[in-house]
Structure 1
Amino acid sequence: MTRLRRMLVLLAALTLAACSQAPAAHEAGQAAAPRAGFPVTIENCGRKLTFDRPPAKVVTGYHPSLETLLALGLGDRIAGRTNFAESAFLPGQKEQYDQIPEISDTIMLPQKEVMLAQGADFVLDNAMASFDAAGGYATVEELDAAGSPVYIMGGWCSPEEVLEFTIDDTFTDLRNLGAIFGVPGHADKLISELKGRLADVRKRVAGRTPVKVLATDGGTGPVNAYGGFGITNQMITLAGGVNVLADVKGDYTEVSAERISATQPEAILVSDYATLRGEAMPSSPAKAADAFAIARNSPAAKDRRYLAVPVAAQHPGYRNILAITDIARFLHPDAFAR
């Protein structure tokens, strides 16, 4: 089975980005009275999206897009979602997930005809992979023309922009979504809470020696690992670590076993797919064992020190900040003892 991150990043290169103005989000059902604060116009992937009123019939793609809307209290707006068989859910979100109609049995949006038939007035996803015409999907342009404007989280609009991601992009998404859905106050409150978490982590790890970290998604030669660009690298740095592959240009990339062996990590992060297991998707302990075997003389291998990081946290979404706290606790447990 093709690995999730590789599929999302590589397919993004195949998608034609829309360059023209997207139409205003269309209404689902009977016309509603204009709301204060609207129309709202935001930019995403080089396009301007204008909304005359808050979306009411939303389709979400991969897990972080849905859970970000749930964190904003917008679960009642979601009319369809994809399947997250591999995901670990945040507290209270699995129950909401189960109540939302499933329109695709994979993490990808459904094929073109099914997708267009949803009549969505907003589509939220984490990458461009689900809008690739070559894969049989409705394109961004086709959905825009149908009144279903697309928003890509984290600015993951192209492979280059995946590498340019910063944690500030997460706050931008929350602010934009708050404006689009007419809940700016809720968005500001969530942003304040998350920034408070980050400030607390920075204070706790300040002055401590950064821990040398290897982040891997398994493999023995080559190894699927995370280089010095993108979300995972930033989470390591903000959590008080230093990425041993910081000089590798890439986010999710392949690195030789020899290169991994030479890094001498003190701790290892492993992408965790929770319930998706089998020969094609080893468990987190199995991935960690492979990494320990490759870097067998490293401090991490000697201490068997690793942390499973939910793969959903390694894609744009508000869980990025939650994961930074978890990683910081793992790297600097003494800093959280008080």
Structure 2
Amino acid sequence: MKKTLLTGLALTLSVGIAAAETTVQSCDRVVTFDAPPQRAISNDVNLTEMMLVLGLEDRMVGYTGISGWKTLDEEMRAGVQKLPELSSKYPSKEVIIGADADFFFAGWNYGMKVGGEVTPETLEPFGVKVYELTESCTHIMDKDKASIEDMYADLLNLGRIFAVEERAENLVEGYRSDLAAFKQDLKTAEPLRVFVYDSGEDTPFTAGRYAMPTALIEAAGGKNIMDDFEKSWATVTWEEVVERNPEVVVIVNYGEVTADQKRAFIMSNPAFADLDAVKNDRFVTLEYVEATPGPRNIRAIKTLAEAFWSE
């Protein structure tokens, strides 16, 4: 009888342990969590905001990669006021390990570089699990072009990892409903030709097929003129931009060069005088946190649609 009870107890415990495990797909890896992380770090403003909208700040020991490039708006400042910024740009391995972190939410070119010091493989020996931003997976594997579903997938996976699935599902359902209702009422015509201007004067840094603005522009009724560019964020030539003649320019606002300065550069350059966007002065600004995968993507789509079709 005693042996039977012990066997039953062992079976119950093993079932409980198995049930507590959570498995998620992270790019080309399957990551298993025995329990929700308690000492998480997020990199970049958009990834940090994903953690905040899920109410996970009490599971975080800090964030990285914001003040070195971008400034926090009032909304974000309030969310992270109790958390330290552990590194102003990409964190070193020592920073993450020194914070006794057990989880790092980052992406390729969002806190990690292929072959760099901080990767899932380099952090694994120190007990730090890594979940990779879905949009960024294109840097290490074949992937379909950017989609708003990428952002939804990240929120749902974070919900599973941190055992707040219901909260994540409700959030995503709300985003889906909001976007569906908005698009139902959106009156569009032939998709507008749109160029995303991130930065650069000698050569422009822009969003290609695998970057989130492509999905945002399409949802708003436009077409990224670089959606056949088999890159995420990368450099093209001004000649290509002129040849494709955008009707609207989307400026990504962050860093030392302001959106107004970027617009002035394009408007004042004689080489761009014949662009439809310049002739009709059609520019729209997205904040970095809106143009990259995160909770403000729905707001960004509405901003773009208003700029595209308000006339």
TM-score (norm 1): 0.77
Aligned pairs for 1:56-135 (under 5 A) are 56-85=38-67, 86-87=69-70, 89=72, 92-106=75-89, 108-109=90-91, 111-127=92-108, 130-132=111-113, 135=116
Q: Secondary structure at the match of 2:20?
A: coil
1:157 matched to 2:129? The reply is no
Q: Any gaps of 5 or more consecutive residues in structure 1? A: 1-33
Structure 1 256/197 Cα, relative in aligned 2: closer, same or farther at 3 Å? same
Q: Secondary structure at the match of 1:99?
A: coil
1:327 to 275, 281, 304: 304
1:145 matched to 2:122? The reply is no
Alpha carbons 1:178, 1:185 under 8 Å: kept: yes
Give the deviation of 1:151 after TM superposition: 0.3
1:177 matched to 2:158? The reply is yes
Structure 1 241/134 Cα, relative in aligned 2: closer, same or farther at 3 Å? closer
Alpha carbons 2:135, 2:212 under 8 Å: kept: no
Structure 1 191/269 Cα, relative in aligned 2: closer, same or farther at 3 Å? same
Amino acid at match of 2:260: P
Structure 1 88/238 Cα, relative in aligned 2: closer, same or farther at 3 Å? farther
Alpha carbons 2:26, 2:134 under 8 Å: kept: no
TM-score (norm 2): 0.84
Give the deviation of 1:41 after TM superposition: 1.2
1:284 matched to 2:259? The reply is yes
1:316 to 276, 280, 293: 293
1:233 matched to 2:214? The reply is yes
Give the deviation of 1:191 after TM superposition: 0.2
Q: Any gaps of 5 or more consecutive residues in structure 2? A: 1-15
> 1:289 and 1:134 mapped to 2: Cα distance?
38
Q: Report the more deviating stretch, 62-71 or 113-122.
A: 113-122
Give the deviation of 1:198 after TM superposition: 1.9
User: What residue in structure 2 maps to residue 194 of structure 1?
Assistant: 175
Richer in strand (by share):
2
User: What residue in structure 1 maps to residue 283 of structure 2?
Assistant: 306
Alpha carbons 2:46, 2:289 under 8 Å: kept: yes
Alpha carbons 2:44, 2:111 under 8 Å: kept: no
> 1:114 and 1:245 mapped to 2: Cα distance?
37
Q: Which has the larger radius of gyration?
A: 2
Higher relative CO (Cα under 8 Å, sequence separation at least 6) belongs to 1
> 1:133 and 1:268 mapped to 2: Cα distance?
31
Identity %: 27
Structure 1 164/258 Cα, relative in aligned 2: closer, same or farther at 3 Å? closer
Instruction: Supply the RMSD in Å over aligned alpha carbons.
Output: 2.6
> 1:188 and 1:103 mapped to 2: Cα distance?
30
Alpha carbons 1:163, 1:229 under 8 Å: kept: yes
Give the deviation of 1:112 after TM superposition: 2.0
1:168 matched to 2:149? The reply is yes
User: What residue in structure 2 maps to residue 21 of structure 1?
Assistant: none
> 1:210 and 1:186 mapped to 2: Cα distance?
35
Structure 1 318/37 Cα, relative in aligned 2: closer, same or farther at 3 Å? farther
Give the deviation of 1:291 after TM superposition: 2.6
Aligned pairs for 1:203-214 (under 5 A) are 203-214=184-195
Give the deviation of 1:65 after TM superposition: 1.3
Structure 1 299/164 Cα, relative in aligned 2: closer, same or farther at 3 Å? closer
> 1:163 and 1:290 mapped to 2: Cα distance?
33
Total equivalences in the alignment: 292
